[in-house]
Structure 1
Amino acid sequence: MPLRNPLLKVSVIVPTYRRPADLARCLAALQRQSRAPDEVIVIARGDDEMTHAALRDPAVVPGTLPLTVALVDVPGQVAALNRGLDAASGDVLAITDDDAAPHADWVARIAAAFEQDPRLGGLGGRDWVHEKGRVLDGERQRVGKVTAAGMITGNHHLGVGDAREVDILKGANMSYRRDAVRALRFDVRLRGTGAQVHNDMAFSLSVKHAGWKLMYDPRVAVDHYPAERFDDDQRFKFNDAAFYNASFNLRLIMCETLTPAGRWAFVAYSTLIGNRADPGFVRALSLAFERGGVALALRKWWVGLRAMRGAWQEAVR
């Protein structure tokens, strides 16, 4: 029987929507923890019958797992995560996705990290991405950083080395001290009806800017099996609405968190250069010649430009 640590109570929050097989794998991984979570809160939509049917199945929900189901009626991950924060009672709030499977020492490492450092507000770790029959492998030292001009390095799925301080955490594997997020909630202005891309970035930056330390430790690990999304964002297929939403969210976050000088640098850089996922004008032309498809490359740039305008208007309200 896994032991519970009496020093800190750990709540695990798992938002889910129409992924019963993935959820079953996630719950099985939580059942195998060397240090059992004190509570597991699954947030489900009221109309998601396939999830509720799975949660009634004893083969999916082990009898010894301290599981609570919290209902939410508003679509999107932001509403689900906020419902989870409201429902959780732990000193530490550990968040993972329904398509992730935490390693057996995940809860134990999280609890130990928060016990050892009272300044620790948030902790993330590596998510080993399983995609198209293989694991995305690699080694990166630079993980979870945002420059003064809003240039972002993710790499949470490739991080190696010792634990180190970072600026942003990834939603599939992030934990927070309750005292650091007591009055904080995920931003309901973020666009999208499902994933609401970058909500994890906005939340972790808010914790960081409140003066708490954010750490990344690749040993705090989950296996991540990116599953189907039931909204406009289909991961590998371009969609105007999904691209606009993700671009709007990123730009809103940067416009509100950077210094005035950094904000203007970000606007100029993202409009002219950008990155491969969200190209500026010059990068769009470069990708068009590299891959073909001038129309699609320029379309992405134009959608991103509209998103910048919308985000700027929202930020200065």
Structure 2
Amino acid sequence: MTGVSVVVPTLGRPSLAALLSALAAAPAPLPVELLLVDDRPERAEPLALPPGIDAKVLTGRAAGPAAARNVGWRAASHEWVAFLDDDVLPDPDWFARLAADLTGAPAPVGGVQGRLRVPLPARRRPTDWERVTAALADGAWITADMAYRRSALEATGGFDERLPRAFREDAELAHRVRAAGWELRRGSRTVTHPVRPEDRWVSVRTQRGNADDALLRRLYGRHWRTELDIPPGRRGRHLAVTTAGALAAGSLLTALLTRRRGALAVAAAAAAAWGAGTAEFAVARIKPGPRDRREVVTMLATSAAIPPMAVGHWCRGWIRWRGARPLGTTP
């Protein structure tokens, strides 16, 4: 191989400077082209790069990481394109191991994934958000550190820009790359992915990803999780809990307006089902965590809010993406 293009989509977070400094300090045994895709709104100030960083800055469209990565690889000069997120820290030998991962990879290999390390607290149990981040270390083909042949990206059309979040877009691309006849491998290079500080409502905001899951269900059918190597979720339980809550509220309103005892009995039964489902979800999230007051209160509140948010975003996506087809297919 003659060299590698490293593509980093960024929102200009402070972690970018640490990433660029780590890349600059790592010996590179092969030519490297560094491409930063600034995915902030156009009105944002220019990126402030650390001294001595030789990088080409490209303008994204503030349309999410999938679109930003497409901008990056399409401007790349080398056959191999390595994608890094702007909040990871490569090991000092990252370039050397990247070269070893890619050099000699036979033509059927279209992508090589790096290893991900997520440091967790040593003296206490991790929080729910820390566990969610730590799960990335076991993820398949995640683009926190993933290298693809440019020819594989060209053959498949790259990332699906209908997936606007850092959620499922890497798994969906990997599926199409393999379906096109390429192989994917795991390499030996390693990056560290620190847990990003977040507020206590982050788990509720991330439910927007259910709209993306609805798109994938439209694209790949009822077995889409198996097709894309995505673990089972809780959407069925969320739907049951949300339905019970809605039934309880509706029946209680009916009982208040009509004074029918039957409606009040239905409301009580549905409320009990909602409470049991919410409690089961909360306990499942509290039990492995630190169990301090803040975490317990956060888990109780968000466990009540997540089911209806998940169902609502799924329905929104299901309606929006009716008739959607995978990239490269025609109606």
- What is the TM-score when the length of structure 1 is the normalising length? 0.68
Matched, 1:178 2:141: no
- Is the partner of 1:13 in helix, strand or coil? strand
How far 1:296 sits from its partner (Å)?
2.5
The answer to whether the 8 A contact 1:8-1:92 is kept is: no
Are residue 123 (structure 1) and residue 123 (structure 2) matched?
no
Question: What SS does structure 2 have at the residue aligned with 1:90?
Answer: coil
Larger Rg computed on CA atoms:
2
Match of 1:10 among 4, 12, 19: 4
Q: Tell me the matched-pair count.
A: 261
Query: For the structure 1 residues 263 and 104, does the alpha-carbon distance in structure 2 shift closer, same or farther, using more than 3 Å as the test?
Result: closer
Deviation at 1:298, TM superposition (A): 3.6
Give 1:262's aligned amino acid.
H
Q: In percent, how many aligned pairs have the same letter?
A: 28
| Paired position in structure 1 for 2:315 | 306
1:236 and 2:224 matched: no
Q: Name the CA shift for 1:61/1:179 in 2 (closer, same or farther; >3 Å).
A: farther
Distance 1:77 1:228 in 2: 20
Give ranges in structure 2 of 5+ residues lacking alignment.
127-133, 243-273, 283-299, 326-330
Residue from 44, 66, 89 that aligns with 1:78: 66
Partner amino acid for 1:40?
Answer: L
Superposed, 1:189-208 pairs within 5 Å as 189-191=162-164, 195-208=165-178
User: Residues 1-317 of structure 1 correspond to what in structure 2 (within 5 A)?
Assistant: 7-19=1-13, 21-35=14-28, 38-44=32-38, 45=40, 46-49=42-45, 52=47, 54-55=48-49, 60-62=50-52, 65-118=53-106, 119-130=108-119, 155-158=135-138, 168-183=140-155, 184-191=157-164, 195-217=165-187, 219-227=188-196, 236-239=202-205, 242-244=206-208, 246-256=209-219, 258=220, 262=223, 275-276=233-234, 279-281=237-239, 288-290=278-280, 291=282, 295-303=304-312, 305-307=314-316, 309-310=318-319, 313-315=322-324
Question: 1:134, 1:72 → 2: CA distance?
Answer: 41
State the Cα distance separating 1:312 from its structure 2 match: 5.6
Which of structure 1's runs of 4+ aligned residues deviate more than 6 A?
Answer: 132-137, 283-286
Report the alpha carbon displacement of residue 98 of structure 1 after superposing the two structures with TM: 0.9
Following TM superposition, by how much is the alpha carbon of 1:180 offset from its aligned partner in structure 2, in angstroms?
1.1
Shift of 1:179: 1.7
- Is this contact kept in 2: 1:252–1:312, CA < 8 A? yes
RMSD: 3.7
SS at match of 2:28: coil
**TM-score, length of structure 2 as denominator length:** 0.66
